[in-house]
Structure 1
């Protein structure tokens, strides 16, 4: 169960859009967010000389998919300079270090492996690492330290706007019946959850394959094409099926993806009792 936390964010340059250093005030782990354009400024900071775990964050060309590369190093300056030269996709680096400079290579190697597994499990960011990774041998006391470091890093990354390890929706098995909403129509049987981030259409939801003529060549049509191209939806006969949970910024976009037509998601999504999402959440 989540407990209250006090998180401090320090702005070295006084610019909220620049380098940001986040920490839970009672713990030693820090996460430093570095815009790529300010990489040289970060490399002059003493924190860049530590053993570190790092995350390179970027988007696909059309801005619809998030990407992450996870790595660890004992020579952070050299590694980030190499990635700046060789990797095109990333826009920000998130660097996890210890305020007391107490991370060692064994910590970093286990954390890299563990973070790769947890990122893939969450499925929120596309994986740019390309390999499965091998679990390193880690003594039990160090592994316990690493899991505590990971918990802190997970919270700090999400606080900075990068919830790499958080699934877009809690497992359906843990959701209460009254939290589920349904979108039903011709060839459509969708299930979803309204969350603080937006509306999540759940894996296995079924929608219409065909678009109505009025949305052809519109943003709604292009949205459905992207969902198919990215593998979020797959075609099955005359229907489309969601291959995984997917977060939409609004209930209406979630309904459009299923129905293949213009839709007001606040009215299309209904509870098991038949009440609209509007009636349950806004009225």
Structure 2
């Protein structure tokens, strides 16, 4: 089994503010990412890399508060964004993706645009304002390999600058942990969450640092907790993306979905803010997630002594 190799990422806050322009680069990658709020777009487009060939993202919300994005490409990104600044009034952030020394050409940019649209629509996290899927340009086998490698690194960099529309949270099913399993580390620890009052049961597995709610688990169909919370937005996003599908008086997970925290998973399922550390219980033992986590940490400490 291949071992995951870590990557080093460098973020530079251009004006010393975390909410201003940010550049992102990765060691041994020719790509360059610049994010800028709309209020600083004039300064961003005045930078040299803004005149390079590449792809760009426009991120924002509709009047109804729903997320929206647009993926584009151009031989001179600055001129393309200036035209969109006039035509589109919904976006609040621009992301410019280029390569050092302006190494991308028009065909490279069109290939990356097509692939980014493809990935974003497959993930389904954020709707795109783009029209039909653009065709990929004809590239040599070597150029396709280079662009796929470029894309792989780009999709690793973008979440670091808070661009998550390409983050895939769906996960494949796994086998339950068994005492006879030859490699216990490759098997999952399972948890359950019951909301008996509403006839809701959910199951999840913990694997590789993620809590993944399993396909077929049930959740509340409507959010009943504090309005406008981040978890309400997540619940609505999953319904919109088809991860949660209405079924009778509740919703059903249509796929395995990885959450960033036990509380996020519990809140989406219960339809209100919830402490996931106490809501989730270890399958077959009744231990809460918090108690299981404490046991795991104690065992880790003992192993180091």
Name the TM-score, length of structure 2 as normaliser.
0.76
Partners of 2:170 and 2:255 within 8 A in 1? no
> Counterpart in 1 of 2:166?
165
Partners of 1:154 and 1:164 within 8 A in 2? no
2:191 to 167, 181, 187: 181
Distance 1:26 1:260 in 2: 44
Partners of 1:197 and 1:249 within 8 A in 2? no
Q: Kindly indicate whether residue 250 of structure 2 is the aligned counterpart of residue 236 of structure 1.
A: no
Contiguous gaps of at least 5 residues in structure 2: 177-185, 296-305
Q: Which has the higher contact order (CA 8 A, sep 6+)?
A: 1
Summarize deviations over 1:187-206 as a string: whole Å, max 9, x none. 21213356999865444321
Q: How does 1:122-271 map to 2 (within 5 A)?
A: 122-173=123-174, 177-186=187-196, 187-192=199-204, 201-208=213-220, 218-219=226-227, 223=232, 226=236, 230=240, 232-243=243-254, 251-259=262-270, 263-271=274-282
How many positions carry a matched residue from both structures?
Answer: 278
Task: Classify the secondary structure of the residue corresponding to 1:144.
Answer: helix
Question: Aligned Cα RMSD in Å?
Answer: 3.4
Residue 165 of structure 1: CA displacement?
Answer: 2.5
Moved more, 269-278 or 166-175: 166-175
Residue 160 of structure 1: CA displacement?
Answer: 1.4
Moved more, 65-74 or 238-247: 238-247
Summarize deviations over 1:228-270 as a string: whole Å, max 9, x none. 8635533322332234556666534533443457753222212
Distance 1:61 1:165 in 2: 23
Task: Classify the secondary structure of the residue corresponding to 1:126.
Answer: coil
CA distance 1:197–1:73, shift in 2 (3 Å): farther
Distance 1:11 1:217 in 2: 37
Distance 1:92 1:60 in 2: 13
Q: How does 1:34-113 map to 2 (within 5 A)?
A: 34-59=36-61, 66-113=67-114
Moved more, 261-270 or 92-101: 261-270
Residue 111 of structure 1: CA displacement?
Answer: 0.8
Contiguous gaps of at least 5 residues in structure 1: none
Distance 1:248 1:99 in 2: 35
1:280 to 289, 292, 298: 292
Partners of 2:194 and 2:202 within 8 A in 1? yes
Distance 2:57 2:165 in 1: 9
CA distance 1:196–1:54, shift in 2 (3 Å): farther
Distance 2:209 2:84 in 1: 31
Residue 75 of structure 1: CA displacement?
Answer: 2.4
Name the TM-score, length of structure 1 as normaliser.
0.82
Partners of 1:154 and 1:163 within 8 A in 2? no
Distance 2:127 2:208 in 1: 22
Distance 1:29 1:174 in 2: 38
Residue 49 of structure 1: CA displacement?
Answer: 0.8
CA distance 1:217–1:188, shift in 2 (3 Å): closer
CA distance 1:145–1:262, shift in 2 (3 Å): closer
